[in-house]
Amino acid sequence: MLEAVLLGFLFSIFLVFAGRYFRGKLAVLSALIPISLFVYFASFINEVAQGKVILESVEWIPSFGVNLSFTLDGLSLLFALMITGVGSLVFLYTAAYLKNHKYLDRFYGYLSLFMSAMLGLVLSDNLMSMFIFWELTSISSFYLIGFNNDKADSRKSALTALGITGIGGLLFLGGAVLLGDVAGTYRISEMLGMSDSILKSPEYILIVILIFAAAFTKSAQFPFHFWLPGAMKAPTPVSTYLHSATMVKAGVYLLFRMSPVLGGSDFWHHTLIIFGAITMLYSAIHIIFRTDLKGILAYSTISALGILVFLIGIGTQAALIAASVFIIVHALYKASLFLITGIIDHETGTRDITQLSGLKKVLMPVAIAGFIAALISGGVPPSLGFVGKDLIYEATLHFENNAILLTVIAIATNILLFYAGFVAGVKPFFGKLPDKFEKVHMPSPLMWIPPLLMTVGGLIFGIFPGLIETTFAKPIVNALVTDTEDFHLKLWHGFNTILALSATTLVLGTILYFTIKPKHKLEQAISKLDRIAPKNLLFKLSNGFVDFSSLWTSVFQNGYLRHYLSLIVAFLIIAVGFLLFKDFSLNIDLRSLSRVTIYEISILTMLLCSVLYTVFTKSRLAAVASMGVVGLSFSLLFLFYSAPDLAMTQFSVDTLTVILFVLVLYKLPKYLNLSDNKVRIKHGILSLVFGSMITLLILRVLSEPKNTEISEYYAENAYTLAHGKNIVNVILVDFRGIDTMIEISVLIVAALGVFGLLKLRLKSKDKK
Amino acid sequence: MKTLILRSASSYLLPVLLIFSVFILLRGHYLPGGGFVGGLVAAIAFVLDAFANGLKKTKILIKIHPGFLMPLGLLVAFLSGISPMIIADMPIMTGLWAGHPIPVIGAIGTPLFFDIGVYLVVIGASLTIIFTISESA
């Protein structure tokens, strides 16, 4: 299985080098990759249908419990087949859709990168490897949405999508780490038995919230749904593949996978039901206001994802069956509708539903595909959509709480989805053909065969639901529910409540389709509400963040050195002062201090004089020189207190500092009084406070008991261990040599920094 | 500042100060001194020369850009640090000493080479900073 996952990665790497051969007619050969993978995964259908779970594990980072372990059960097989199956059709379709595109090879590279990442995601049994594949899907999606990178719109949408799904990915990592911590393993198959102890752990709520956040961002649940309509800027094959059939279902897949481990609590079920219900209804209502075909499909996709989350939230066996069948239904009709939209866009140059009509005259096979897709989407018998819709109603009707309310929401959503399917799949083809579309001609068969194939599949599965029952529905339920009841998928259940509900949906949907016509006016009307839409609120939040950052920066980093210095000093005063005065006690034994001699008095006098001179002198050079005197006085002090090493170093450093100052200041104009007295007084107070605080700090240190253990160790061992008599130097080059090593590295970095900054400026000056 | 006195003095002071800096470097092991101070003294010697004769002449005198001394010194220090690992299979930064001290230089060992590395880095870094600033000022 590892090879199957890696195949797409290898192919995209191969395209980096051999891409130019795949831009022309050979491009269609790329489809061999997903087709062969589809055949490979299809060969497991029998084994999995018999209830076998195929496990494979390759050690990757065993010390962290991160391994490439793959599992193939009903759920992952369904997703794998969907990824490779829809993938094959999309690969074929792209060859015609982007024919002779300059970057066709690049597009295939991104697509196969995505396919592999997605396969890895659904096959992973290890949470960590799943996270890595999860992120890879976000990244490849970023490239694909921004494929038309010369358009500002595409770039922005790509960034939004990456931002939202990226935040989700980060939260997923958090949830995975916490969950791995609680369970003691990252393997999902090992967690299955620990469900009870995980539910009782104090971190449970946090884990669930993090996993939800990941799933909701990826699967575009309210209020994170807005990246998906934006992602429609991508070329249609991408919308088909990533943003309706596979990637957006990754969040749903995660919820599926986690429901045996984390499900079972009220929090899990209620949250999912609430968010799913809001999403499915909210975005279904949005459909009415859209006129762009892809916009309609995007919102109906969000709504469908909402239904899936909603069903997982209900979590009964009936609901899980409904969800797994609905995934297949949705993949079949939504991918077809997207491909059909792509054909319409490709041939007529517009996706505006108010302009499109009568296309069946020129695009007959496409019209057939569109019609069948609409039937599946609307749940008209005998399509698989009908089976799927019945299962949904069965799940809601038999749920113990608020069954009526949930069923009403489900019916309302389904009516609107019926409308969406017919607007996208039927409306463009009926009515009068406008003159400007007379010359529209059929596209290459590579484009119209894939949607036709999928819709016909939807019909066949609908007539023979048994095909899905044994291959997918049962293995999935076996993988997710511990004690299963036997069930059968059927097209005809006899006359009962559910049939009545289905009929109501169909009738109301038809009425809706004939009464409401998509209009630009409606779209404009709803755009007035955009101000309070989650998208804009989030954008406002991010703009506010930027504004706050620039305000913060302009306050703390305004470019004036004196400002930085006073800020640093003020901060130190507050931070150190707080700790110092929290419990301040000063008890210095005056007798323990050594006697003050005439040397110290004279040096202190010298220090004081030169400090005062520095502050009040009118000449810059004189100030620098008297600063030098301060430094030299200090080195004298060190000398008196028997620290010759320190004195020497201080002496040389001070010499160099003075030279540096002189070099910089020498060429400046004569002393100008730039700061007024107010500022000077402010700085003076700041310095005085800082100085007195440091003095107090040192006095405080003196009153602490001395710890001489370390210095004694050095004194004893300097000669015996390091053959040196100068302890300071032995510490520098031997005992703590690695510190010195790092210090000289820092010194080099500083020198390089100065060199780079100044030389770069010199060069740009030279250019002028 | 091209005064005659400073210029004549610096032509004597430069070699003397350089020798003095090496002396400080070598004596560091037993008495106050060491690579850091030695490097600073050497840097001061060159800066003095630059004051007296102009930066251009000093640069010609040094021949290579002082910046190159930095990686060289870091390399010397690093090699002396890891040599115990390679030669004697001992932990990093273990001091290795060669037999009896040599007159004038003193005991030879990896810490000495480490100090030489520090010495070179300090010269390189301070001269790079000072030369760059004085060129741009």
Side-chain half-sphere of A257: how many Cα atoms within 13 Å?
30
pLDDT at residue number A95:
86
Kindly provide the ipTM of the predicted complex, given to two decimals: 0.89
Hey, are the CB atoms on A722 and B81 less than 8 Å from each other? no
pLDDT at residue number B2:
64
> Most confidently modeled of A515-529, A704-718, B29-43?
B29-43
Q: Map A462-500 to HEC letters.
A: HHCCHHHHHHHHHHHHHHHCCCCCCCCCCCCCCCCHHHH
Average pLDDT over residues A271-300: 89
* Count of pairs with CB atoms under 8 A, one residue in A, one in B: 147
Q: Parallel, antiparallel, or unpaired for β B97-102 and A66-72?
A: unpaired
Hey, are the CB atoms on A660 and B133 less than 8 Å from each other? yes
pLDDT at residue number A762:
61
pLDDT tens digits for A624-666?
889 999 999 999 999 888 888 889 889 999 988 888 888 777 7
Minimal-distance CA residue of chain A relative to B131? A755
Measured CA to CA in angstroms, residue A340 lies from A286, A326, A367, A429 at distances of 21, 21, 8, 11
Whether the per-residue pLDDT at A767 is higher than 60: the answer is no
> Most confidently modeled of A73-77, A439-443, A699-703?
A73-77
Side-chain half-sphere of A629: how many Cα atoms within 13 Å?
18
DSSP state of A398: T
DSSP A204-241: HHHHHHHHHHHHHHHTT-TTSTTHHHHHTTS-HHHHHI
Burial of A88 (0-12, 13-18, 19+ CB in 10 A): buried
pLDDT band at A96 (very low <50, low <70, confident <90, very high): confident
CA dist., res. A507 & res. A594, Å (int): 103
CB distance B134 to A756 below 8 Å: no
Residue located via tokens 């107090």 = A696
pLDDT tens digits for A497-534?
778 888 888 888 888 888 877 777 777 777 777 666 77
CA dist., res. A9 & res. A117, Å (int): 8
Choose the closest CB to A748 out of B44, B70, B97.
B70
Supply A764's token pair.
Answer: 């740009």
Mutate to test the interface with B, among A642, A655, A747, A758 (most CBs of B within 10 A): A747
CB distance A1 to A72 below 8 Å: yes
Hey, are the CB atoms on B74 and A745 less than 8 Å from each other? yes
Supply A645's token pair.
Answer: 């090493």
In which region does residue A659 sit, left (phi positive, over 0), alpha (psi from -120 to 50) or beta (all else)? alpha
Average pLDDT over residues A593-605: 85
Domain ranges across chain B: 4-136
pLDDT at residue number B82:
84
Instruction: Produce one character per residue of A307-319: b if its CB has 16 or more CB atoms within 10 Å, e if not.
Output: bbbbbbbbbbebb
pLDDT at residue number A67:
84
Mutate to test the interface with B, among A733, A735, A745 (most CBs of B within 10 A): A733
- Higher pLDDT, residue A311 or A725: A311
Mutate to test the interface with B, among A642, A646, A652, A720 (most CBs of B within 10 A): A652
CB distance A187 to A130 below 8 Å: no
CA distance B122 to chain A (A): 7
pLDDT band at A278 (very low <50, low <70, confident <90, very high): very high
CA distance B23 to chain A (A): 14
Whether the per-residue pLDDT at A609 is higher than 90: the answer is yes
Please, which contacts does B10-14 make with residues 24 or more away whose CB atoms are closer than 8 Å? B10/B48, B10/B49, B10/B51, B10/B52, B10/B53, B11/B52, B13/B45, B13/B48, B13/B49, B14/B45, B14/B46, B14/B48, B14/B49
CA dist., res. B62 & res. B46, Å (int): 9
Average pLDDT over residues A734-740: 84
Q: Parallel, antiparallel, or unpaired for β B106-109 and B97-102?
A: antiparallel
- Average confidence score pLDDT of chain A: 85
Secondary structure (3-state) at A671: coil
Chain centre to alpha carbon of residue A121: 15
Whether the per-residue pLDDT at A768 is higher than 60: the answer is no
Whether the per-residue pLDDT at A672 is higher than 70: the answer is no
CA dist., res. A755 & res. A753, Å (int): 5
Residue located via tokens 């339920």 = A477
CA dist., res. A376 & res. A321, Å (int): 18
CB distance A634 to A651 below 8 Å: no
pLDDT at residue number A106:
86
Average pLDDT over residues A568-582: 89
pLDDT at residue number A531:
67
Instruction: Produce one character per residue of A227-240: b if its CB has 16 or more CB atoms within 10 Å, e if not.
Output: bbbbbbbbbbbbbb
Average pLDDT over residues A558-587: 85
CA dist., res. A278 & res. A302, Å (int): 11
Average pLDDT over residues A579-594: 74
pLDDT tens digits for A386-426?
888 888 888 888 887 788 888 888 888 888 888 888 888 88
Q: Which of A312, A307, A216 is nearest to A264 (CA)?
A: A312
CA distance A651 to chain B (A): 9
Q: Please count the other Cβ atoms lying within 10 Å of the Cβ belonging to residue B115.
A: 30
pLDDT at residue number A214:
92
Whether the per-residue pLDDT at A615 is higher than 90: the answer is no
pLDDT at residue number A631:
92
The percentage of residues in chain B with a pLDDT greater than 70, rounded to a whole number, is 89
Hey, are the CB atoms on B33 and A724 less than 8 Å from each other? no
Average pLDDT over residues A126-143: 91
Which amino acid would we find at residue B53? N
Chain centre to alpha carbon of residue B23: 11
Whether the per-residue pLDDT at B98 is higher than 80: the answer is no
CB distance A128 to A174 below 8 Å: no
pLDDT at residue number A765:
59
Q: Please count the other Cβ atoms lying within 10 Å of the Cβ belonging to residue A416.
A: 24
pLDDT tens digits for A166-189?
889 999 999 999 998 888 888 888
pLDDT at residue number A136:
92
